[in-house]
Structure 1
């Protein structure tokens, strides 16, 4: 498997960054953490825009930076999407795209001009000026422009941070398509759990300039010793495959490791890889299979751990469903009444399952 080695140390009077990790050379790796954790500084180091006191960056065996080599920013085959689109205001969308396209170097993985436009759905916007675009449209143009530089690595620094809710909803499906259709690794900076759940394959969790954890998305989401599992919106992101559709009741069934879940019907082909979100607040537990209930999704699971939460009235329970892990947040009283313990088999009743992609 291809991989990316990252090690940067930055010492400033007001901030210290010291990170070291290895990421997959494919898919989307989220750099996640609160404001001030070092996400953007790290991204700028990778791009060659920030001078680090110590830096190592090896891309699939090729050193871009180490003790002997330090490629300048313009020689690093990187596409960078900032929080703001930063388009040339006096140029049309088409000319903004052509500006970078004409200067790129061709390679075996070259992205065609028309392909990039189609991928982010901006065919109808080519003649417009940036001032005539919505925030979401401008960011889609910025993404296309970054792709047309023919990058080996795409860096995205909170590209949805400045957008309203409607614009975020508009652009997220296009970001998902990048992951599914392009063979370009992406480092995606965010402090939004929702974005990470939808887009990321792996995650690097940053805190105060250090790596707190790294690994496959769901492994980190369901680690009860980490802050993501303790959030109010704590969730699991479980991968499965579309197995069938129920036209009568408008349901789509997704087969996961421990069974099959039903979600609202979506136009996806049988065999399509799908990701479902299971919120900890939407999972209740029972000692026996429930009867005469409105809850469609219920499975036998094994309790992997029981952890206190910030709220002393609740506990967080990690559940093992055939190797897929998800969380349940229930009251401490319920855990006591059900005599829950690690290793015990119970039935998880999932009130709501969301298909993320």
Structure 2
């Protein structure tokens, strides 16, 4: 199943231009405020009529301005989850879930997927923000959509409630087999959840590709990539050192160490390593506190408009990024092919199953 978007639309003094073909999984529509992210979702949902263009879901035309086609929202089989849960306050959780559903088929599976069993008789006013968003998500999925749109669903929640919801969003991404367009401006959310990223800036689509590729800035100008440059790596848990309280991870055959117990043996994790948290050394550092030191090879050096530069690195086929000063680039004599050691200062971790 895929989504084709080819639209042009004027908004807030900008012209939005997006041409993309999105496959299954979760695609993050990512970028700063005013980039046009929510406008894209509203056009796909049928809440806005584009100036020109075409939108198709699995070959079914939702919008074609040239042919005069514009399906109303109710006929699109597109479900939307907004920033606010928008539950009906006079209905129980169960009745909210079934509102718009054709039958009760699938209710039990949805309740299990989203952990709603203990909430079914509750009123929306008694739910936490995270619980309410899970109910809103369940209601959207029970409408049997072909496409799910999520517009900053975590932005109204505090950090604790966001972390409460993340495992459910991950299960949805992995188990629902439904294409999802997920609007966000939060780098950590996108790195944790997205299979691919559509990057918008100033109404223009700058990149569309796998999350690791886009965060590494491939094919992007330095002034764009420096704001979000990072490595996104898939690793597995190899063990736990109870004496030192460290989890051992494996990046291919290389061990990495994380504080605390990150999960069970064999579980997969996704690491986000910000380019600003990577130091480079010509020799293997000795006598330092950092535990994670990787041999790397320079792939590319990109000078930024200010004092900084981005260095693309390779470790046994895994892409890393480092953001350092131009002076450091000169002092280290960095150029493609040069061998170095990368010191990883911090790593953000997300479960992957």
TM-score (norm 2): 0.89
Out of 130, 134, 158, the residue aligned to residue 152 of structure 2 is 158
Instruction: Quote the offset at 1:227 in angstroms.
Output: 4.9
Instruction: Quote the offset at 1:203 in angstroms.
Output: 0.5
For 1:27-106, what aligned pairs fall within 5 Å after superposition?
A: 27-66=25-64, 67-68=66-67, 69-101=69-101, 103=102
CA distance in structure 1 between the aligned counterparts of 2:9 and 2:333, rounded to whole angstroms: 50
CA distance in structure 2 between the aligned counterparts of 1:279 and 1:346, rounded to whole angstroms: 18
CA distance in structure 2 between the aligned counterparts of 1:18 and 1:118, rounded to whole angstroms: 40
CA distance in structure 2 between the aligned counterparts of 1:13 and 1:222, rounded to whole angstroms: 30
CA 1:221/1:288 → structure 2, altered by over 3 Å: closer, same or farther?
A: same
The alignment of Structure 1 onto Structure 2 pairs a total of residues equal to 346
Instruction: Quote the offset at 1:269 in angstroms.
Output: 4.1
* Partner of residue 320, structure 1: 314
* Partner of residue 268, structure 1: 264
Structure 2 residue matching 1:83: 3-state secondary structure: coil
CA distance in structure 2 between the aligned counterparts of 1:228 and 1:86, rounded to whole angstroms: 35
Structure 2 gaps of 5+ residues are none
Instruction: Quote the offset at 1:12 in angstroms.
Output: 5.0
- Is the contact made by 2:223 and 2:305 (CA closer than 8 Å) also made in structure 1? no
Out of 159, 164, 175, the residue aligned to residue 170 of structure 1 is 164
- Asked if 1:135 is matched to 2:134, the reply is no
Q: Which whole-Å deviations, capped at 9, do the CAs of 1:60-117 have from their partners, x for residues lacking one?
A: 333333344433211112221011111111111111112122x36x9xxx7x212212
CA 1:236/1:50 → structure 2, altered by over 3 Å: closer, same or farther?
A: same
For 1:291-310, what aligned pairs fall within 5 Å after superposition?
A: 291-309=286-304
The CA RMSD measured in Å over matched residues stands at 2.3
- Asked if 1:9 is matched to 2:8, the reply is yes
- Asked if 1:237 is matched to 2:232, the reply is yes
- Is the contact made by 1:282 and 1:328 (CA closer than 8 Å) also made in structure 2? yes
Out of 273, 279, 287, the residue aligned to residue 284 of structure 1 is 279
Structure 1 gaps of 5+ residues are none
Structure 2 residue matching 1:356: 3-state secondary structure: strand
TM-score (norm 1): 0.88
CA distance in structure 2 between the aligned counterparts of 1:118 and 1:226, rounded to whole angstroms: 44
* Partner of residue 22, structure 1: 21
CA distance in structure 2 between the aligned counterparts of 1:180 and 1:266, rounded to whole angstroms: 20
Instruction: Quote the offset at 1:256 in angstroms.
Output: 2.7
Instruction: Quote the offset at 1:50 in angstroms.
Output: 1.2
- Asked if 1:343 is matched to 2:337, the reply is yes
